[in-house]
Chain A
Amino acid sequence: DTEVTQTPKHLVMGMTNKKSLKCEQHMGHRAMYWYKQKAKKPPELMFVYSYEKLSINESVPSRFSPECPNSSLLNLHLHALQPEDSALYLCASSQEGRGGGNTIYFGEGSWLTVV
C-alpha cells in the first residue's frame, strides 16, 4: 500500500467551481510534488515543494494554486478550470538531499473531470 495518500479519488467540477486536492505523507520526506497525467501519456511535473517552500513551478497556469501547510501535507487548489485540465493528478514525495537517486514515491492519484 502506498504511503502517500490522496483525496478525493475522483472529482467532478464545473468550470466556475473552487475545489482542492489533498495529499498526505508520513514518511518524513521533505520534498513533495504535484504531477499531471493525461491519458496514455507519462506524468508531467507541475510543482515541487522543498522544506515547505515552493521550489519549482513548471509554468503552470494560475488557476492551479499549490499550498504546503506543513511537511506532511500538500494541497492543490483549483479554480476556474477548463475541460482540458481533466486528468489524473498525482502527488509524490521524496527524501531531500544533494545526492542523486532520491526515489520519488507517488500516491494513488486523483481523477479530475472538468465539465
Chain B
Amino acid sequence: AQKITQTQPGMFVQEKEAVTLDCTYDTSDQSYGLFWYKQPSSGEMIFLIYQGSYDEQNATEGRYSLNFQKARKSANLVISASQLGDSAMYFCAMSLSRNSGGSNYKLTFGKGTLLTVNP
C-alpha cells in the first residue's frame, strides 16, 4: 500500500521569502506520479505541480518547484517569493500507474500542511 507523509502540520513564512513544504512517500511500485495541491479556505483544490517517477529533472511551474529525491522517497514543494495569497492548506498526493498494476484514479493524500504567509 502507498502512503504519503507530511510532517509539518503548520508552517509560517515571511512575505517574499522562500518556503519548503516536506513530503515523503512510500510505495513499492516503480511507476507513480506525485502531485501538490493548494486548498484555500474557500475549498477549491488547486493543482500546482506534478512529478513523474521516471522524470529526471525536477518539475517547475512558475514560483513552484518540486525537489524530487527518488532514493530518499521525498518530493518537497518549494515556493519562492511567498505572497499573502499563498496562505492555504497544501496537500502532497500520489497516484500509481496502471502499467504497474495500480490505479491512476486513486490519489493517496498526505494530511496536509497549513501555510501562513505573514506580511
Q: What residues make up the interface of A, taking CB atoms closer than 8 Å to B?
A: 2, 31, 33, 41-43, 45, 48, 50, 55-56, 88, 90, 92, 94, 98-109, 111
Contacts and interface: CB of A to CB of B under 8 A. Distances in A.
A92 B91 CA distance: 16
Contacts of A94: 104-105
Given A42-B91, A42-B112, A101 B44 contact: no
Interface residues of B, number: 32
B57 interface: no
Contacts of A99: 97-99, 104
Name the 3 nearest CB pairs between A and B, nearest first. A100-B97, A101-B33, A42-B109
A36 B53 CA distance: 27
Interface of B: 31-33, 35, 37, 42-47, 50, 52-53, 91, 93, 95-100, 102-107, 109-112
Given A42-B91, A55-B105, A100 B100 contact: yes
Contacts of A92: 45
Given A88-B43, A94-B104, 12 more contacts: A31-B105, A43-B109, A45-B107, A48-B105, A55-B105, A56-B106, A100-B52, A100-B98, A100-B99, A106-B46, A108-B43, A109-B44
Contacts of B97: 98-101
Given A55-B105, A102-B104, A107 B44 contact: yes
A45 B106 contact: yes
A68 B99 CA distance: 26
A17 B111 CA distance: 32
Contacts of B33: 100-102
Contacts of A50: 105
A94 B107 CA distance: 12
